[in-house]
Structure 1
Amino acid sequence: AASVIAPYAAPDIDAATLLALSRDAYSSFRHESVAPLVQLEDDHYLMELFHGPTLAFKDVALQLLGRLFDHILTAKNQRIRIVGATSGDTGSAAIDGVKHCSNVDIVILYPNGRVSDVQRRQMTTVDSPNVHTVAVDGTFDDCQDLVKAMFNDHPFRERHNLSAVNSINWARIVAQVGYYVEASRRLGRTIDVTVPTGNFGNVLSGWIAKQMGADIRHLVVASNSNDILTRFFESRDMVVTGVAPTLSPSMDIQVSSNFERLLFEMNDRDGGATAQQLTRFRTTGHLVLEPDQFSTWIDPTFRAGRCDDSQTLATIASVHASTGMLIDPHTAVGVAVARQHEDPSVPMVTLATAHPAKFPDAVERATGVRPQLPEHLADLMSRPERTTVLPNDLMTIESFINSL
């Protein structure tokens, strides 16, 4: 990780310091390989990204990001307030990454009733005075819009010295590049990678890894029923529809905010042209690419597929029956879509993005087996919760943060 991130961190953080911070960040992971590769089928591998403290791939970036924040803020004698939105996993991973940081307060917005019980409790049971959670009466897209609006409110942003842990923060994206590089290095040949994604951040990290030289042929975007990305790759027209609750709630997203970064590259890094396209997208609910943009940027690298809840359950069941392994619903979406795109000549790596015990009801429904939380979270469901329920209203949210 340190060698991948180093070009982006210099000159603010030297290589030796970055290596020390990385080693400290990943010492909290329960597997010595941090992100082990496990063979699922012939030339189909799972890369397990859920061995961090909150059992999700977000830990890979956010354990490091918390240490980067603490290092830089201590050196500069500054304090920040992090505001973030979560569809389930970012919030708990961000909170765990900064809960011991003396120079950081964190406020996480999540959609009320739209995250799993385990995901919610991983956020609301943290007993640290610098941690605050808000259950917003709305969707993840609403939460994400509120966060963006707060960052665009310049007096508010400056008053609180706001910072981000969502993938709006470039460090989040680049910290994920390392496991793509590692997957191709370990297998020692060209690979395809399937990525369960709703917000495009994880797959964007894969695209960056490919640009940096990782031996990746195709990046396969795996969607659940909220399939705006898959529909886009099929039709070249990104069309917003309603968000449907699914068994894979971290992907219940319609506005994939990180696609803006790829669009910026497609537009030869023309910020004005990109802003115009996104303004039209927000106004009309449609984003259409030029044919040459699609043929140059999308067709050579990206593939896509979808998996609904019934297919998700069937995939969890089939993997358990054939291997004895339990996989979570998001990983199951990835496995199902990967199977649609397997090529005998190229190994497939599917990113296993969450521990099955984060979604025990779905896993038990599919297999009859209820996955158990690791020992450090064994009493999670009995810990007292602390959260605030607020409406989907910017002024109300900002007033709450002003009162902290």
Structure 2
Amino acid sequence: MLYCSTRSSLKKRYSFRDVLFSGFAPDGGMFMPEHLPILSIETLQRWKNLSFQNLLCEISSLFIPEHEITKAQIKELISSALSSFSLPDAVRLVHLRDSLCILELFHGETLAFKDVAMTCTAHFLRYFLRKDASRAMIIVGTSGDTGSSAIRSVLGVSEVDIVVVFPRGLITQVQELQMTTSIADNVYVFAADGTSDDIDVPIRKLFADSDLVDRYALMSLNSVNWSRIMVQTAIFLYAYLKLSMLHVTEDALPELEVVVPTGGAGNITAGLIMKQMGVPLRLVAMVNANDIIHRTVQSGDFSMFSTVTHTLAPAIDIQDPYNMERVFWLLSGGDAVFVKNLMESFHSQRKTTLQSPVHQKLCDVLSSGSVCDEGILQTMRRCWEENHYLLCPHTAVAVWKHYQSPVRDGEIRCCLATASPAKFAEAVHRAGLPLELPESLQVLPSLPTRFKNLERSDDWEEKLRQCIKSISEKRVTALTERQTLPHPCKN
């Protein structure tokens, strides 16, 4: 398995290690596998009783060549990565009233779905770094949950430094404190006076500087990173095998509808990949008032609003869903020239129109909806009243679709639960619902914090460059000091 850029028509190919230790491709595109393996009915039958961890191992081994990480090593790394989760198998299916089925993905340390892919990706990184005796520097822009999950996955890891930038005042207190209280020698946190989309601009520029990337071994742990998407594909396959394989006939596989609350379109990309690998999924992208994905599906209007709307579901307050580039590449049959022109037009003008036949292909594989804050609150209240089950506001964005369009006879549906409601106490309280915080969140306000500000008047790109340079100099100095210390066994 080799990888290519969504924007390059050249025949340059990359290894899994190459794309793991990268952000955006050098040409500004995103890395994707050259081809997708197809899963046969026989394979699905063979895998239907696997645990999530074992299934994730099978999927990962399809995309990671044996000569880079053996299957046995992949299994060991995944087991170690998910050992910190509060559930033995990391994820859980919950069946509620009126055929409401929810796949809980938030049982990691930071209580968000990103922990699943982030911890596995971090373990893949550490495998290569320790094997090569090398270092890496991670640069992450976050809309809320990604930053804390990325920090937690590499907290105190000696081979890695991490720089995280979050939008000040536009995320919950818990999300912010999970980042700013993570104090370690390898963690650097910035609070930016802007939106998550504003933060993506300088970070994309940093990764476009190939000399900078090479000199400081820069990489990303956003869902820009292919490994994150790869791991998330297993979530869709797990849901399918557990919910649909009981209905298999000799002639055909049943279809599963998966309702996905989305902002950056990473999970949607993972679901589409699994669909193209032969698993019959019907994908529904659900968004909040920041509805660029919904408008793109409905009319081909791929355009940003002038500002990002602050909603009760802040992790999906995104106007630049960068993983849609991967979606367009998949739907265009890997047409790199088309994708390059489309995305360059979008980023230069902040808008473009998706023409047929790609728009029609998008509509064939994806439906969508948009939910306002009041709809989120109503959904949270109804789910509690009917089930005594608390939804986080992002999961409510998905469940809203279920309540608006009940499951019909013969249909199978699953809604993804992307975060614990405990991370969004304000929304739970606004809904008038009870909430008991876990101890890990109760102690956050009492912990010391450490971060720096990025003011609106600052040159963010330059400040981040200086931070990168300073971290590197610090590591060189520390290494030099260690090398000049007398050996403890010598007089």
CA distance in 2, matches of 1:220, 1:127: 39
Q: Deviations over 1:183-230 (max 9, x none)?
A: 1111124310000001111111111111223342x1100000001111
Matches within 5 A, 1:110-129: 110-129=166-185
CA contact (8 A) 2:328 2:358 kept: no
Aligned to 2:462: 395
CA contact (8 A) 1:390 1:397 kept: no
1:236 to 289, 300, 304: 300
2:336 to 262, 265, 271: 271
Aligned to 2:226: 170
Q: Deviations over 1:139-161 (max 9, x none)?
A: 10011122111111223222211
Aligned to 1:34: 90
Aligned to 2:190: 134
Structure 1 residue matching 2:364: 3-state secondary structure:
coil
How many Å apart are 1:101 and its aligned residue? Answer: 2.0
Aligned to 2:199: 143
How many Å apart are 1:239 and its aligned residue? Answer: 1.8
Range moving further from structure 2, 110-119 or 267-276: 267-276
CA distance in 1, matches of 2:198, 2:436: 31
CA contact (8 A) 2:99 2:407 kept: no
User: Aligned letter for 2:314?
Assistant: P
Please state if 1:368 is matched with 2:436. Answer: no
Aligned to 1:104: 160
1:335 to 399, 404, 407: 399
> CA separation of 1:100/1:397 partners in 2, compared to 1, >3 Å: closer, same or farther?
closer
CA distance in 2, matches of 1:367, 1:35: 28
CA distance in 2, matches of 1:285, 1:83: 24
Aligned to 2:140: 84
- Provide the TM-score with structure 1 as the length reference: 0.96
Structure 2 residue matching 1:291: 3-state secondary structure:
coil
Please state if 1:20 is matched with 2:76. Answer: yes
How many Å apart are 1:378 and its aligned residue? Answer: 3.4
CA distance in 1, matches of 2:324, 2:70: 31
How many Å apart are 1:9 and its aligned residue? Answer: 1.1
1:324 to 388, 392, 405: 388
CA contact (8 A) 2:156 2:185 kept: no
User: Aligned letter for 2:57?
Assistant: A
CA contact (8 A) 2:154 2:160 kept: yes
How many Å apart are 1:301 and its aligned residue? Answer: 1.8
CA distance in 1, matches of 2:440, 2:310: 29
How many Å apart are 1:62 and its aligned residue? Answer: 0.5
Aligned to 1:221: 285
Structure 1 residue matching 2:434: 3-state secondary structure:
coil
CA distance in 2, matches of 1:337, 1:399: 46
CA distance in 1, matches of 2:436, 2:418: 16
Aligned to 2:63: 8
CA distance in 2, matches of 1:52, 1:370: 19
1:185 to 208, 218, 241: 241
Structure 1 residue matching 2:88: 3-state secondary structure:
coil
Please state if 1:285 is matched with 2:350. Answer: yes
How many Å apart are 1:271 and its aligned residue? Answer: 2.0
- Provide the TM-score with structure 2 as the length reference: 0.79
> CA separation of 1:342/1:210 partners in 2, compared to 1, >3 Å: closer, same or farther?
farther
Q: Deviations over 1:77-103 (max 9, x none)?
A: 110000011100111111111113221
CA distance in 2, matches of 1:106, 1:228: 30
User: Aligned letter for 1:6?
Assistant: S
CA distance in 2, matches of 1:329, 1:73: 38
User: Aligned letter for 1:394?
Assistant: E
CA distance in 2, matches of 1:263, 1:300: 13
User: Aligned letter for 1:18?
Assistant: I
Structure 2: where are the runs of 5+ without partners? 1-55, 248-254, 472-491
CA contact (8 A) 1:240 1:255 kept: yes
Range moving further from structure 2, 379-388 or 219-228: 379-388
2:368 to 304, 317, 327: 304
Aligned to 2:275: 210
What percentage of aligned pairs have identical amino acids? 35
CA contact (8 A) 2:265 2:324 kept: yes
Structure 2 residue matching 1:106: 3-state secondary structure:
strand
Aligned to 1:67: 123
User: Aligned letter for 1:400?
Assistant: C
How many Å apart are 1:341 and its aligned residue? Answer: 4.1
Aligned to 2:485: none
Structure 1 residue matching 2:289: 3-state secondary structure:
coil
Structure 1: where are the runs of 5+ without partners? none
Q: Deviations over 1:343-392 (max 9, x none)?
A: 4121211100000010011102203313312x344312211111110135
Q: Deviations over 1:104-141 (max 9, x none)?
A: 00001111111110001111111211011111111100
CA distance in 1, matches of 2:169, 2:331: 37
CA contact (8 A) 1:114 1:139 kept: yes
CA contact (8 A) 2:97 2:386 kept: no
Please state if 1:160 is matched with 2:216. Answer: yes
User: Aligned letter for 1:395?
Assistant: E
User: Aligned letter for 1:332?
Assistant: A
CA distance in 2, matches of 1:338, 1:301: 18
CA distance in 1, matches of 2:369, 2:207: 33
Please state if 1:249 is matched with 2:305. Answer: no
CA distance in 1, matches of 2:376, 2:291: 14
Aligned to 2:4: none
